[in-house]
Amino acid sequence: MSKDNNIAIKVDNVTKSFKVFYDKPSTLKERLVFWNKKKVDERVVLKNINVDINKGETVALIGTNGSGKSTLLKLMTQIIYPTKGKIKTWGKLTSLLELGAGFHPDFTGRENIYFNASIFGLTRKEINERLDQIIEFSELGELIDNPVRTYSSGQYMRLAFSVAINVNAEILLIDEILAVGDQHFQDKCFAKLHELKDSGKTIVIVSHSMESIKNLCDRAIWIYEGEVREDGKVNDVVKDYIKVCG
Amino acid sequence: MINRIYRYREFLKTNVKKDIRGKYKGSFLGVLWSFINPLLMALVYAIVFPFILKNSQSNYVTFIVIGILPWTFLTTVIQQGTFCIIANGGIIKKVYFPREILPISVATSGLVNFFIALPIIILFCVFSGLGLSWYALLFPLIALTQYILLLGIIFISSAINVYIRDVEYIIQFMVNMLFYGTPVLYSATLFPAKYRWILNLNPMTTLINSYRDIFYYQKFPDFTMLGIVFACSALLLFIGINVFKKLERRFAEEV
């Protein structure tokens, strides 16, 4: 497909800016009445980002709130599109930006596994193959046949995480969702991520937990005010980051 | 695009299922409501209208039922369809999937509901003494044409509605108005021949006439008109897909 066969994600000179409307005209009347006094600011969130992520790499994106790391992750997922530049990905990609997307509270856990996994692009056959694995990982046991609205928030997240992690994509994009469930389940999630990493998956993760990043990732990219400030070995980048922002 | 949608076919399927089953979850009669609703509507019209309109139609209830069901198909799909991107804002912001799936699944669940309601038409035809003829087998062809027409409309309306929320209300008004400009309650022949071409500009006229032809009059529909409507619908669908593709890039930022 490409000459860069080794690359999983290629971010090529990407700039993303959002329009900030002070009074966003969302109705026709407002658009017609205020057409000439629209107050629009362009806020540039990412500036000329160039990042190549190789296959099999585990990369952390770090930075303070509002630095643009989540936006970069969303761009990689193709939820939003860059204002300038290009993003290309090779391989099946799953994003865990939000857990439980498409859950319907009135349906049972089992039915919701089908809904949720289908959003990730799995076919029925693929879901059937993974069903037992997902249920076992969630540790919900018999609760799986109860409507999701009866779940506690922890159980809800456990089910959602179990689906997302078992989708079996080649590239995983994860945004701050590792604070799932109790200590025991968190440990299990990390063990699973290590397992995925060892099996050669590409993982990009946004997190503020430096300990878990150092533990899991090889490489870290520090995003500072929309630009790449440092890109390198995880220990070095984290050390510098803590020096400045810690 | 077709390739991408095919890959996400399970999502399309569960979405359609969720639409049909989820809509009536918690109600006692469940899916039966998709029968009862248009049926009650037809009965109300059948009771009220003979008083207002002098109609010479025999089997007026059957006549209306054949018109009402396709009309319900249109209104549900257009109402839900126009709103479908905004309604799914939550997942659009969080997960990647081909956005086209959303309007497609609204139209498809409408079509499935329409087929589920088909026995009503058949029952009315049989019990009113009209009987059923082989022409009824043309039903899927007409329904498919209507499906393509509706799909084209909601591709455009759902995408624009993200940016200009008024579309919802404009469309609702237009649909309400169009009801009287479509021969649902009356026969197109009631119109003076001089002005009938105006009625024929409305694609629903041809579609409802065709449904009536195969069930009520039991003859071949006007294939020329049906062909024109089919071609226009296909063109509209093509335009709709392109408009949708242009506008979908900023859905996640705007919903």
Q: What is the pLDDT of residue A246?
A: 65
Q: What is the pLDDT of residue A39?
A: 67
C-beta atoms of B18 and A101 within 8 A: no
Q: What is the pLDDT of residue B244?
A: 96
Q: What is the pLDDT of residue B21?
A: 74
The CB density around residue A45, as the number of other CB atoms within 10 Å, is 20
- Order across the sheet with A93-96: list the strands: A93-96, A171-175, A202-206, A58-62, A219-224, A227-233
Report the alpha-carbon distance of residue B60 to residue A71 in Å, rounded: 60
Show residues of chain A in contact with B14, CB under 8 Å.
114-115, 118
Determine the distance in angstroms separating the CA of B146 from the nearest CA of chain A, rounded to an integer: 28
Determine the distance in angstroms separating the CA of A25 from the nearest CA of chain B, rounded to an integer: 8
Q: What is the pLDDT of residue B226?
A: 95
In terms of phi and psi (left: phi > 0; alpha: psi -120 to 50; beta: otherwise), the region of A181 is left
Show residues of chain A in contact with B93, CB under 8 Å.
79, 98
Instruction: Search chain B and give the residue with CA nearest A116.
Output: B11
pLDDT lower than 70: segments of chain A: 1-4, 22-26, 33-39, 177-181, 246
CA A172 to chain centre: 7
The DSSP annotation for B89-151 comes to HHHHHH----TTHHHHHHHHHHHHHHHHHHHHHHHHHHHTT----GGGGGHHHHHHHHHHHHH
Determine the distance in angstroms separating the CA of A228 from the nearest CA of chain B, rounded to an integer: 23
Q: Does B13 reach chain A within 8 Å, measured CB to CB?
A: yes
Q: What is the pLDDT of residue A1?
A: 46
Best of B95, B171, B254 to mutate (most A CBs within 10 Å, chain A): B95
Greatest distance between any 2 Cα atoms in chain A: 60
CA B218 to chain centre: 22
Note the residue count of chain A. Answer: 246
pLDDT in tens, chain B (255 residues): 788 888 888 889 888 888 887 666 667 777 777 778 888 888 888 888 777 766 667 788 888 899 999 999 999 999 999 999 999 988 888 888 899 999 999 999 999 989 988 988 999 999 888 888 999 999 999 999 999 999 999 999 999 999 988 898 999 999 999 998 899 888 888 788 888 888 889 999 999 999 999 999 999 999 999 999 999 999 999 999 999 999 998 898 887
CA A241 to chain centre: 21
The CB density around residue B180, as the number of other CB atoms within 10 Å, is 10
Residue A193, Cβ density class (10 Å: 0-12 exposed, 13-18 middle, ≥19 buried): buried
Question: How far is CA A5 from each of CA A52, A91, A171, rounded to the nearest angstrom?
Answer: 12, 11, 14
Q: What is the pLDDT of residue B150?
A: 97
Q: What is the pLDDT of residue B254?
A: 83
Determine the distance in angstroms separating the CA of A122 from the nearest CA of chain B, rounded to an integer: 7
Question: How far is CA A32 from each of CA A36, A100, B201, B246, rounded to the nearest angstrom?
Answer: 9, 39, 30, 22
Q: Does A95 reach chain B within 8 Å, measured CB to CB?
A: yes
Q: What is the pLDDT of residue B245?
A: 94
Query: Tokens 């939820």 sit at which residue?
Result: A79
Domains contained in chain A, CATH given: 7-88+208-245 (3.40.50.300), 96-206 (3.40.50.300)
Q: Does A32 reach chain B within 8 Å, measured CB to CB?
A: no
CA geometry: angle B92, B97, B99, nearest 5 deg: 65
Query: Directed axis angle between helix B223-247 and helix B139-163, to 10°?
Result: 30
The two tokens of residue B32 are 């039966």
C-beta atoms of A104 and B252 within 8 A: no
Q: What is the pLDDT of residue B234?
A: 97
Q: Does A107 reach chain B within 8 Å, measured CB to CB?
A: yes
